[in-house]
Structure 1
Amino acid sequence: MGILMLKTSVFTRADRHFFPLLSLFVLFVVCFLLFLSKSSYIHLPYSSFTRSILSDTSKPCTGRYIYVYELPDKFNSDIIRDCRNLLPWHHMCPFVSNMGLGPRVNYTGSVLTQTGWHFTNQWVLDFIFHNRMKQYECLTVNSSQANAIFVPYYAGLDTGRHLWNHNVTVRDSLLVELFNLLRSRPEWSAKGGRDHFILSGRTTWDFRRQGNDGDLWGGKLLTLPEVKNMTVLLIESCPWGSENEFAIPYPTNFHPSRKSQVLTWQEKVRLSTRPWLFSFAGARRPEQVHSIRDQVADQCLNSTQCKLLDCASPSRDIDCNSPITTMSLFQISNFCLEPPGDSPTRRSVFDAMLAGCIPVFFNPHSAYTQYKWYLPTNYTEYSVYIPEEDVRDGRVSIEEVLLKYSEEQIGEMREKVISLIPALIYKDPSHKIGSVRDAFDVAIDGVLERVKLRH
Structure 2
Amino acid sequence: MEKSNVKTVPSMKSMSMSRHLFSLLLSLSFLFLLCRLLLLSRSSHQLLSSSSSSSSSFSLPPAHAHADPCSGRYVYVYDLPDKFNSDILRDCRTILPWIDMCPFVANMGLGPHLTETGSVLTGTGWHITNQWVLEVIFHNRMRQYECLTANSSQADAFFVPYYVGLDTGRHLWTHDISLRDSLLLELFQLLKSRPEWSVKGGRDHFILSGRATWDLRRQADEDHLWGGKLLTLPEVKNMTVLLIEACPWDSEHEFAIPYPTNFHPSNESQIVAWQDKVRSTDRPWLFSFAGARRPGQAGSIRDQVFGQCLKSARCRLLDCATQDNDCDSPATTMSLFQSSSFCLQPPGDTPTRRSAFDSMLAGCIPVFFSPHSAYTQYKWYLPGNYSEYSVYIPEDEVREGRVSIEEVLLRYSEEEIGDMKEKVISMIPGLIYKDPSHQLESVRDAFDLAIDGVLQRVKSTIGT
TM-based fold match above 0.5: yes
d(CA) in 2 for partners of 1:231, 1:344: 21
Deviations for 1:336-379, whole angstroms, at most 9, x for unmatched residues?
Answer: 00000000000000000000000000000000000000000000
Q: Which residue in 1 is equivalent to 2:69?
A: 60
1:250 shift after superposition: 0.1
1:314 shift after superposition: 2.6
Alignment of 1:36-435 (within 5 A): 54-315=63-324, 318-435=325-442
1:165 shift after superposition: 1.2
Q: Which ranges in structure 2 are unaligned for 5 or more consecutive residues?
A: 1-61
Moved over 6 A (4+): none
Q: Which residue in 2 is equivalent to 1:453?
A: 460
1:107 shift after superposition: 1.0
1:55 shift after superposition: 3.5
1:54 shift after superposition: 4.3
The amino acid that maps onto 1:258 is: N
d(CA) in 2 for partners of 1:161, 1:423: 31
1:283 shift after superposition: 0.4
- Secondary structure, aligned partner of 1:210: coil
- Secondary structure, aligned partner of 1:373: coil
1:213 shift after superposition: 1.1
d(CA) in 1 for partners of 2:373, 2:255: 14
1:289 shift after superposition: 1.9
- Secondary structure, aligned partner of 1:267: helix
In our comparison, the structure showing a higher alpha carbon Rg is 2
d(CA) in 2 for partners of 1:450, 1:126: 20
d(CA) in 2 for partners of 1:57, 1:386: 51
Shift in alpha-carbon separation, 1:124–1:55, aligned structure 2, 3 A: same
Deviations for 1:383-425, whole angstroms, at most 9, x for unmatched residues?
Answer: 0000000000000000000000000000000000000000000
Deviations for 1:265-314, whole angstroms, at most 9, x for unmatched residues?
Answer: 00000000000000000000011121001100110010000000000013
How many matched pairs?
Answer: 401
d(CA) in 1 for partners of 2:82, 2:323: 40
d(CA) in 1 for partners of 2:63, 2:339: 53
Deviations for 1:19-75, whole angstroms, at most 9, x for unmatched residues?
Answer: xxxxxxxxxxxxxxxxxxxxxxxxxxxxxxxxxx94434211011000000000000
- Secondary structure, aligned partner of 1:123: coil
Q: Which ranges in structure 1 are unaligned for 5 or more consecutive residues?
A: 1-52
Deviations for 1:186-220, whole angstroms, at most 9, x for unmatched residues?
Answer: 00001100000000000000011011111100000
d(CA) in 2 for partners of 1:420, 1:283: 27
RMSD (Å) for aligned C-alpha atoms: 0.8
The amino acid that maps onto 1:428 is: D
d(CA) in 2 for partners of 1:205, 1:174: 19
Identity %: 76
d(CA) in 1 for partners of 2:99, 2:255: 28
TM-score of the superposition, structure 1-length normalised? 0.87
TM-score of the superposition, structure 2-length normalised? 0.86
